[in-house]
Structure 1
């Protein structure tokens, strides 16, 4: 479908603006979910972290006192308070959502000639679903997010790099599954095409899980219920984001197509 602005085909700018709008709204919805569902778990984890800081061994008391005198102790005031962080949550999710919506719109345009359906809504939903699977769910299984008080600061750079690498490999896995589905042939049984897609996806995913390192840094006394409640809330936030982007983008593109078609008919 050429995006030249003629007929009912939208221009790139039109598609991009709809992607940005869909992402912004979905990001605000995800921020609301994170605030309502995730913030209580963050507060609980921070309370555990502060309790652990105040319970430092007495042997370190002299050093701790010096740190207090210099204003560098663990309990030092943060540059941004918790109220500011809560407000910034919506700004962060809104901007992130807009960025992801822009990327989704760009992918929609770049893959226009390779799509096998003229249904804009279905195409948008498939792209959002692929992004959710590859960029969120696949990395989540290998590297689930941790709340405050969990994680070794000395490994943060390595953990960040491997997580980003896992995101890339997750998207490659989705692409591999798509290639497997297409490689079988249009006239092959549905079950065979689906099996090829799953096989291609699992091949990249399993190899990635085996090759990349694991990090076991959760303290033994950290509440397991709190840990998994935080992780599920984080996953839920991403699911709200990408589901919202897919549905809103599909609706906006469908409306644009309908309006353009009505103009031509008139």
Structure 2
């Protein structure tokens, strides 16, 4: 049964990746192009400044060689390739992996979230996953387009983002266990409210403790930044909604006989 769910989850993940690619191509890529144009304009201004005196610390290096050493790197993947096949490959791989993980989580959660049908369980898992994996981490460390952020800090920034994501997942698991324990005494609805409140308090405290990152250039377009972040959330929303709805329908047919449905 788990194998059948896993296959369905990965197939739905491919469908979700295709839908997310279409959304990203229409709404996300224009914001990336605008950010790249901003970065290139600033690079042009830097190049227009008077060149400093020749550095004589490297004997035998002529001025053209020094300039090539600083900015002569060739682009490995063209921008059109990144925005088409590169983007498609990335979202398909991500969607397939997400579909497989979602199917495994669904198989574990089915029957442990009360008397929910497979379709309702899938929708619940998708809603909780979208909130815990996407919404909450991006409240603290939102997605940024090119030209935003210091390249030297990309490692620490990525680590902080994944720390918040991992913590959010762990706190969600603890909150769900708490809700199951409190359900017999408080009732399912009240137990869920207590668990949600506990999750919110713990994550709010954690995000207040963790360091902030403020690297957006002062003259960067606020509209481009806002639209990019909205497009990023939209891509994830399509992925998780497709998993919750389409996979839920497939799981309903697989797990419940037609007569029961």
Q: Matches of residues 15-54 of structure 1 in structure 2 within 5 Å?
A: 15-54=5-44
Q: Matches of residues 85-104 of structure 1 in structure 2 within 5 Å?
A: 85-86=82-83, 87-104=85-102
Give the drift of 1:27.
1.3
Q: Matches of residues 123-202 of structure 1 in structure 2 within 5 Å?
A: 123-186=121-184, 188=186, 192-202=190-200
In structure 1, distance between residues paired with 2:64 and 2:123: 57
Kindly indicate whether structure 1 or structure 2 has the higher relative contact order, using CA contacts under 8 Å at least 6 residues apart: 2
Q: Does 1:58 align with 2:56?
A: no
Uncovered stretches (5+) of structure 1, i.e. residues with no partner: 1-10
Give the drift of 1:163.
0.5
In structure 2, distance between residues paired with 1:145 and 1:65: 38
CA change 1:222–1:67 in 2 (3 A) is farther
In structure 2, distance between residues paired with 1:103 and 1:244: 14
Q: SS at the partner of 1:150?
A: coil
- C-alpha contact (below 8 Å) 2:175/2:195 kept by paired residues: yes
Does 231-240 or 109-118 show the bigger shift?
Answer: 109-118
Give the drift of 1:190.
6.1
- C-alpha contact (below 8 Å) 2:23/2:235 kept by paired residues: yes
Give the drift of 1:113.
5.3
Equivalences, count? 250
Alignment partner of 1:80 out of 54, 77, 80:
77
- C-alpha contact (below 8 Å) 1:180/1:200 kept by paired residues: no
Does 112-121 or 77-86 show the bigger shift?
Answer: 112-121
In structure 1, distance between residues paired with 2:157 and 2:17: 25
In structure 2, distance between residues paired with 1:221 and 1:94: 35
Q: Matches of residues 234-249 of structure 1 in structure 2 within 5 Å?
A: 234-249=232-247
In the superposition, the TM-score normalised over structure 2's length comes to 0.87
Q: SS at the partner of 2:24?
A: helix
In structure 1, distance between residues paired with 2:175 and 2:119: 21
2:68 is matched with 69
In structure 2, distance between residues paired with 1:248 and 1:91: 21
In structure 1, distance between residues paired with 2:243 and 2:66: 47
In structure 1, distance between residues paired with 2:6 and 2:189: 35
Give the drift of 1:143.
0.3
* RMSD between superposed Cα atoms in Å: 2.3
In structure 1, distance between residues paired with 2:132 and 2:95: 16
In structure 2, distance between residues paired with 1:17 and 1:191: 33
2:248 is matched with 250
